[in-house]
Amino acid sequence: MSQLKLIAMSVVLTLLVWVSADQLLTETVTLQVTIEPVAAAGRESFKISRAGDRPQKFQITLSGPQRTLAPFREGGISTIDLPIEARTTGLVSVKLLDALRKNRARFSGLTVDSVTPEYLEAVVDREITVSLPIWVDKGTLDYDVDPSVEPDQVEVTISERRLNAIAEEKRCLVLHVENLLRNRRKGELLRFSVPLEAKVAGIEAKVAPAQVELRATVRELHITDTIAAVPVRFTGSVDLWNEFTIELRDQSTLLTQPITVKGPAEIVARLVSGDIKVAGLITLNRDDTLDLGRYRAKKPEFALPAGVQLAEPNAVQSVEFQMVRLR
């Protein structure tokens, strides 16, 4: 019986020696991994990414007990998530040896001996919402009422890092209104909704509201031009024409005259081309039949379209005539 106990104790002692030896035996392994920076717990509002387009390979040397190290040697790891304690946005440089040693849960029971390269460059960013003004670009049009928008400020959600890189005077949304107003009615107050381009200095953003109300009055383009030959006619009551006729002092004169007008460019152009007809009228009454045989002079009056007027009223020529009784 004593012999059996001795044998059992020997077996137990041997196992303990093997286990202790296994635990005390330290080995090393070198891994090629990609390290991905991620936001640490409680910093989820930050977006963290590698600086650069391509993943960078790092060489990590681990040491520890054989049994603890075995899974890393056998299966290996290809990617390690590295929590970053972000507090501000921008470019950060992380010393990997210190950072990985703090990440004990990932390498429990092992020691991180070295990391090559030593540093990881990461970009820290987050989206923020700020109130920014709208700058209205008037373009080359002329206005009676300058264009404005309502509201004149909107809520913009944008990358904080990129917003910080924009100069203060350029932190706005730009609304180009020339193409929106060029073919609209001139001289009237216009009010209509327009969409905003969701960009700040070329940086994509989210905008609320997405539309604003644009208000403006585009000034009509006025020009001055001459209608070469405007016909002049006499007008009066039927009774007057039943008794009298008109005799011009200059019988050879064609009863037309040029007039210079000013007004909206489109209407003036149509007057000059003849698309819109105009005539000069000399209105007669019974007073013009007094002193028969005597010539008198009257200026014609011209019925012009709304918005158009004579540019040189004093230049209108008088017409000399006399009333002649019919026999």
Least confident of 49-58, 124-133, 159-168: 49-58
Does 18 have pLDDT greater than 70? no
The Cα 77–Cα 71 span in angstroms is 9
Is pTM beyond 0.85 here?
no
pLDDT digits (tens, 9 = 90+) for 208-244: 999 999 999 998 888 899 999 999 999 999 989 999 9
What is the rounded CA–CA span in Å between residue 132 and residue 226? 51
Euclidean distance between CA atoms 294 and 78, whole angstroms = 117
Instruction: Supply 157's token pair.
Output: 């959600």
Query: For residue 53, what are the contacts with CB-CB under 8 A and spacing of at least 6?
Result: none
pLDDT at 5 over 60: no
Q: At 304, is the pLDDT very low, low, confident or very high (cuts 50, 70, 90)?
A: very high
pLDDT score for 11? 47
Q: Could you read off the pLDDT of 148-157 as tens digits, one per residue?
A: 999 999 999 9
CA dist 256 → 115, 164, 268, 304 (Å) = 101, 72, 19, 16
- Determine phi and psi for 150, rounding to 5 degrees: -135, 120
Query: Which residues in 162-316 belong to E strands, given as ranges?
Result: 173-176, 189-195, 199-200, 203-204, 206-208, 211-218, 222-235, 244-248, 256-264, 280-283, 296-298, 301-302, 309-310
| Residues 133, 152: Cα–Cα separation, whole Å | 6
pLDDT tops 70 at residue 10:
no
The three state secondary structure string of 170-211 is HCCEEEECHHHHCCCCCCCEEEEEEECCCEECCEECEEECCE
The string of pLDDT tens digits covering residues 173-203 is 999 999 999 888 888 899 999 999 999 999 9
Integer angstrom CA distances of residue 2 from 6, 11, 13, 16, 202? 6, 14, 16, 21, 90
Query: For residue 129, what are the β-bridge partners?
Result: 157
253 backbone dihedrals φ, ψ, rounded to 5° = -80, 130
Percentage of the residues of the chain whose pLDDT score is greater than 70: 91
At residue 165 the predicted structure's pLDDT band, cuts being 50, 70 and 90, is: very high
Asked if 155 contacts 128 with a C-beta cutoff of 8 angstroms, the reply is: no
- Position 251 pLDDT exceeds 80: no
Predicted local distance difference test score (pLDDT) of residue 3: 62
